[in-house]
């Protein structure tokens, strides 16, 4: 089927919730994608920070194939080995002692919100149920997670929202401290705001948030759905600050493209959940676990975190050079392979022009170009991307 037909079929039958780039992709390998007409793209979107090992990584493909032949799904009425193995890997390499599996970032955050409320209900008293979240945050599209998301554009038209949320500016510990009320049971935030435009807080901010949570005996919930699983050059972005949260959520890159989410917590907090309190039919599905296990093992074993840090530093230096050449770039920033340029103009034209020249990037919040390539990206790929950006920005 040609590109035009693929697009027409989708537009005719699929609900109109996405503003899609007019490209129909059919194949991927590493940091490259091909559309239905055979055109090749350098992929600096990676399925929105999902395909961290690159497209169709052989170890992940092999693990999914093998599992599909053995057993695909049995539900959580029964035990399966891969679930325990993935949970053991996640707890071994994080602060956490217990894991709940689900299928997406929004579900992981929904589970985190429920666990925080249940923990507070049992340990802090029935009047402590409020969560403080950050302005310009993004936590997902379910009713609880659009409420947690501090951006009105995601909430507009869906009121009434869930009760028990308040919002403070990100990277402002004094505002956070001032917002804490006798009803506050926890604080939820991203270590680096992703959809908000790759906003990196000051060094020491997360440690300050931890200190505030400790002093007020409330929970610190960290949404690592985008930053987690290697994106910033550590397995979890929180590691840069040495902060241990009480609850952490993961999804996006956890299955390298296979849908899987997880909500992790300390034993102390996880104890608030007992059988019947929360569940997911597909949560911990065997194919998802096979993908997650292969992804985590590859990421940890293959030296990819160090590679991500080196490529991130290389890319950021190149973006600073690009900024020096083009006045439309007001700032370049990033950590690991989560990078961005703030523009003085709308980014949509740049994204479109890059796509025409074979580079996929995306734009958040109108004027921020975001670069989230697979972690396996090489210097020559970064050079190629910079060269296309240079061309496209010439004369703008």
Interface contacts to ligand PLP, rule CB under 6 A: 104-106, 109, 138-140, 190, 194-195, 223, 225-226, 251-252
| Whether 321 is catalytic | no
| Residue closest to ligand PLP, measured at CB | 105
| Whether 217 is catalytic | no
Q: CB of residue 68 vs ligand PLP: minimum separation in angstroms?
A: 22
Of 138 and 167, the one with the shorter C-beta distance to ligand PLP is: 138
Q: CB of residue 118 vs ligand PLP: minimum separation in angstroms?
A: 21
Q: CB of residue 303 vs ligand PLP: minimum separation in angstroms?
A: 26
Q: CB of residue 107 vs ligand PLP: minimum separation in angstroms?
A: 7
Of 134 and 351, the one with the shorter C-beta distance to ligand PLP is: 134
Neighbours of 139 (CB within 10 A): 31
Q: Which of 215, 297, 200, 220 is nearest to 264 (CA)?
A: 220
Of 105 and 388, the one with the shorter C-beta distance to ligand PLP is: 105
Q: Which residue has the tokens 């149920």?
A: 129
| Whether 390 is catalytic | no
Catalytic residue among 95, 129, 138, 165: 138
Of 140 and 186, the one with the shorter C-beta distance to ligand PLP is: 140
Catalytic residue among 223, 236, 293, 381: 223
Catalytic residue among 128, 234, 252, 293: 252
Q: CB of residue 384 vs ligand PLP: minimum separation in angstroms?
A: 26
Of 43 and 381, the one with the shorter C-beta distance to ligand PLP is: 43
**In DSSP terms, which residues pair with 187 in a beta bridge?**
132, 220
Q: CB of residue 81 vs ligand PLP: minimum separation in angstroms?
A: 25
Of 102 and 332, the one with the shorter C-beta distance to ligand PLP is: 102
Instruction: State the catalytic residues.
Output: 138, 223, 252
């Amino acid at each position: 089927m040609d590109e035009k037909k693929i697009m027409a079929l989708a537009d005719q039958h699929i609900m109109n919730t996405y503003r899609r780039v007019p490209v129909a992709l059919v194949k991927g390998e590493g940091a490259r994608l091909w559309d239905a007409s055979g055109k090749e793209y350098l992929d600096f979107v990676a399925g929105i920070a999902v395909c961290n090992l690159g497209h169709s990584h052989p170890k992940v493909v092999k693990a999914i194939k093998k599992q599909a032949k053995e057993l695909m799904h049995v539900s959580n009425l029964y035990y399966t080995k891969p679930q325990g193995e993935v949970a053991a890997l996640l707890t071994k390499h994080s602060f956490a002692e217990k894991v709940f599996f689900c299928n997406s970032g929004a579900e992981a955050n929904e589970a985190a919100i429920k666990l925080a409320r249940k923990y507070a209900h049992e340990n802090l008293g029935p009047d402590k149920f409020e969560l403080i979240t950050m302005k310009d945050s993004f936590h997902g599209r379910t009713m609880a997670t659009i409420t947690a998301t501090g951006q009105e554009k995601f909430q507009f038209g869906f009121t009434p929202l869930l009760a028990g949320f308040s919002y403070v500016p990100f990277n402002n510990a004094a505002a956070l401290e001032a917002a804490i009320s006798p009803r506050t049971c926890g604080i939820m935030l991203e270590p680096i705001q992703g959809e908000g435009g790759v906003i990196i807080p000051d060094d020491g901010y997360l440690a300050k948030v931890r200190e505030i949570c400790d002093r007020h005996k409330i929970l610190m919930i960290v949404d690592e759905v985008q930053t987690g699983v290697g994106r910033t050059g550590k397995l979890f972005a929180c590691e840069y600050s040495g902060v241990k949260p009480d609850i952490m959520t993961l999804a996006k890159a956890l299955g390298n493209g296979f849908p899987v989410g997880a909500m992790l917590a300390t034993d102390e907090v996880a104890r608030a959940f007992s059988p019947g309190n929360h569940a997911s039919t597909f949560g911990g599905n065997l194919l998802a676990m096979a993908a997650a296990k292969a992804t985590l093992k590859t990421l940890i074993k293959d030296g990819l975190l160090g590679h991500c840090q080196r490529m991130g530093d290389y890319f950021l230096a190149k973006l600073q050079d690009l900024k020096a050449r083009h006045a439309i770039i007001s700032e370049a920033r990033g950590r690991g392979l989560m990078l961005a340029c703030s523009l003085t103009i709308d980014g949509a034209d740049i994204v479109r022009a890059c796509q025409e020249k074979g580079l996929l990037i995306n734009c958040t919040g109108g004027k921020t170009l975001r670069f989230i390539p697979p972690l396996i990206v090489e210097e020559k790929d970064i050079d190629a991307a910079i060269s296309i950006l240079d061309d496209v920005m010439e004369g703008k």
